[in-house]
Amino acid sequence: MLTIKLPQLLHVHQVPRVFWEDGIMSGYRHPKSSALDCILSSFQMTNETVNIWTHFLPTWYFMWRFQVLSYSLDFFTEAYNWPLLVYMLLICIYPFTSSCAHTFSSMSPRARHICYFFDYGALSLYSLGCAFTYGAYAMPDRWANSTLHQYFVPMAALNTFVCTGLSCYTRFLELECPRLSKVLRTAAFVYPFVFDNIPLFYRLLFCFGEDCNSNTAIPLHFYHLFFALLTGFLFASHLPERLAPGRFDYFGHSHQLFHVCAVVGTHFQMEAVLTDMKLRRTWLTGHTPLPSSFGTLGIMAIAVVGNLLLIIGFTSFLLWSPKASSILQSTVHEETKVKAH
């Protein structure tokens, strides 16, 4: 009979320091797992299992929503729908990339960093998808065709390079300057979030009157911002596991909650965008130019290629530069290292 042996789980001091997570004391996978071991571990309770599934399952949900929308919307010939097309593609990609990163990050220290390089790149591109839809459907009436409106998406594309470059760079600081690494990585994602949401902040907080686009999308935008802020808090605070190390190794630690809040926030964001897109279509098509193919698909292609080049650059430095050895070091003595299984 065919039997499958599940991978061995380890405690924090049995794995190299690069794999350590704040407040997580057990449930670590072998630091030199095979690809098959990584896949099998997603069906075993480890400290990464919930992280994997809380983004893998939402990927299918967003793909299903994308498919349903494709039945009612013409994504190919109707220019008004192109920003939504880009957005829907990217909200399917970012949770899938994150799920893959968590799945295969225990193959080696190098593999761990490379997995998260791609994860950061996908999140950066997701921020660009948000900018596409906000620029096309959520911009306040009084800002239509303004300088900000005209350069909103190109600036968001440039922001993806800043976000990916800075967040990937922080991985080289993790062991020697962990606090600085965390601050810079948080800033790398807060910056594009704040920029993308400038139109929403204005609509929700400072705009009053007939031309402020008050409609049924407003509560949905509030829900999205609430979960986005909660996501950022969980990412930065490492609560609750920091208060009780070892108690939340498998369920309830901050990264799991961070994933859940991010997905719920994206759901409300998608619903808000769809509502604005539908209710404001007549006004928008009459007062603003239709999106161009270069202004949507072209800019997305440039951003994807640029971010891939950044990831390739950081990966090359990691693999071949002697200076990168500091982020691969282990604090585990030879006599206490785990034997390969």
| Helix runs in the chain, H state only | 35-41, 49-72, 82-104, 109-133, 147-170, 178-196, 198-201, 217-237, 254-279, 281-287, 293, 299-320
266: Cβ contacts below 8 Å, ≥ 6 apart: 58, 62, 91, 224
Closest CA to 273 of 197, 179, 205: 197
Taking only the tens place, the pLDDT of each residue in 60-82 is: 999 999 999 999 999 999 999 99
With a cut of 80, say whether residue 97 has pLDDT above it.
yes
Q: pLDDT at position 321, please? A: 82
Name the E strands within the chain.
Answer: 9-10, 28-29
Other Cβ atoms within 10 Å of 330 Cβ, number? 15
Q: pLDDT at position 215, please? A: 86
Taking only the tens place, the pLDDT of each residue in 104-134 is: 999 999 999 999 999 999 999 999 999 999 9
Q: Chain centroid to CA 114: how far? A: 15
Taking only the tens place, the pLDDT of each residue in 24-53 is: 999 999 999 999 999 999 999 999 999 999
At 292, give phi and psi (nearest 5°).
-95, 165
Q: What angle do CA 327, 330, 336 make, to 5 degrees?
A: 170
Q: pLDDT at position 340, please? A: 39
Rounded-to-integer distance, Cα 204 and Cα 136, Å: 17
Are the C-beta atoms of residues 283 and 141 closer than 8 Å to each other?
yes
| Helix runs in 171-253, H state only | 178-196, 198-201, 217-237
The pTM score is 0.93
Tokens of 73: 């919307």
Amino acid letter at 170? T
Tell me what the mean pLDDT of segment 321-341 comes to. Answer: 54
Taking only the tens place, the pLDDT of each residue in 229-268 is: 999 999 999 999 999 999 999 999 999 999 999 999 999 9
